[in-house]
Structures are given as C-alpha cells and as structure tokens.
A and B are shown apart, each in its own frame.
Chain A
Amino acid sequence: NAGVTQTPKFQVLKTGQSMTLQCAQDMNHEYMSWYRQDPGMGLRLIHYSVGAGITDQGEVPNGYNVSRSTTEDFPLRLLSAAPSQTSVYFCASRTQGAVNSPLHFGNGTRLTVT
C-alpha cells in the first residue's frame, strides 16, 4: 500500500491564483482530513470528511473548498490564494467507526504564496 499520497510536494503561487492540492489514499479509509501547519501553531484542521459525499468544516476553513466524490480522493482547493495561506499542508486519513483510530499522514505539500 502507498498509504496517503499528496501532490505536489512544493508549490509557489502568486496572490489571487487558484490551485488544487491532491490527496489520495489506498487504505479504504472512510475519514479524510486536511491540516495546515504553521510555526508555533501546531496542526490546524481545515476540512474533514467522514465518507464520500460528506464534508465538514474544521477550525480554519475560510479560503478553502473541498469535495469528496470517491472514498480514495479528497482534494483541497484554494480559489484565490493569499500570502496568509503560505504553509505546509498535510492530508490524513483513518478508519471511521465506533472506536477512534490514529490518523495516517501524507508527506505534506509546502505552499508559498507571494
């Protein structure tokens, strides 16, 4: 299994540009999520999904959109990039059931907005 795969690894955008960060998992996990990591602020939840067709907002959803059309994929869209969105983005997945389970993280995407 490849686990959680994120693309691209690095990206530079100009203010106002749009892009999609890709995330795919091959573990048949129902739950998928996106976090951003900034120095001194830990991992902050952007959006999450408990299954295909279901998404919900996390702590910092503004400026980001998500969709979940399949179990495997959970893309994160930036509609109009801002310098405040410069960060490292992690996608993570886990099984979703009565008993919580650990998150499996992708390798991250380092995004710079100039």
Chain B
Amino acid sequence: GENVEQHPSTLSVQEGDSAVIKCTYSDSASNYFPWYKQELGKRPQLIIDIRSNVGEKKDQRIAVTLNKTAKHFSLHITETQPEDSAVYFCAASYNDMRFGAGTRLTVKP
C-alpha cells in the first residue's frame, strides 16, 4: 500500500516568516494530494489540495507544489501568523487515502 513520509515533525517559526513542510509518497498511482490542518481537540480540516495534473496551486498565503517524477510534494505558508499554529498533515490518495505522521507548527508572536 501507499506510504507517506512527512518532515519535519516539529517546526517553530517567528511570526511573519515562511514555513515549509515536505512529504514523499511511494505509490506512483496516487493522483490526489490534500493537506489538512488540525487544531488541538478538533477534527482535521482541508486547507488546500492538488491533483496530479497540476504542478503548483496557491490560495492566498498557502501554496502547494507537486513533483510527480520525484514523488514529493510540499506545503508553503508565507507571512505566518499565530493562528497558523496547529498540526498539519499531508496525504496521498488513489483508491484510499494515506496520511503522513504530521508536523506540529508553532508560530511565535
């Protein structure tokens, strides 16, 4: 089955800096790559996604890039704010959806 690896496991940045989280996947058939944000005690919520026919997608301060040849994709958050502090998960999907282990992002004011 699909195996998704995510790095780093923790990330601390100053408010206003950028944050980058990287993921790799193993199954070349995977064609959908969402990113979820989970606040403490809450359910994961989709923040952005990308499909295999697209190399990059942006939504305001958030962007995702995909390199299908290398089987890796990344989340970029610019101008970070304290409310961006949360756990972020990447995932890869074909028939089912598999998740990375998560990155705990802390944005210091």
Q: Which residues of A contact B (CB under 8 A)?
A: 33, 35, 40-45, 48, 50, 56, 58-59, 90, 99-103, 105-108
Write 26 A-B pairs (CB below 8 A) sorted by A numbering.
A33-B96, A33-B97, A40-B101, A40-B102, A42-B6, A43-B44, A43-B99, A48-B96, A50-B95, A56-B96, A58-B1, A59-B1, A59-B98, A90-B43, A99-B32, A99-B51, A100-B32, A100-B51, A101-B32, A102-B49, A103-B34, A103-B91, A105-B43, A105-B44, A107-B43, A108-B43
Is B43 a contact partner of A45 (Cβ separation < 8 A)? no
Is B43 a contact partner of A106 (Cβ separation < 8 A)? yes
Taking CB atoms, residues of chain A closer than 8 Å to B49 are 102
Counting CB contacts under 8 A, is B25 at the interface? no
Number of A-B pairs, beta carbon distance below 8 Å: 54
Instruction: Number of B interface residues at 8 Å Cβ cutoff, please give it.
Output: 25
Q: Which residues of B contact A (CB under 8 A)?
A: 1, 6, 9, 31-32, 34, 42-46, 49, 51, 89, 91, 93-102
Pick the residue among B34, B44, B96 that contacts A45 (CB under 8 A). Answer: B96
Taking CB atoms, residues of chain A closer than 8 Å to B102 are 40, 42
Residue ID in chain A nearest B32 by CB atoms: A100
Pick the residue among B6, B45, B98, B101 that contacts A105 (CB under 8 A). Answer: B45
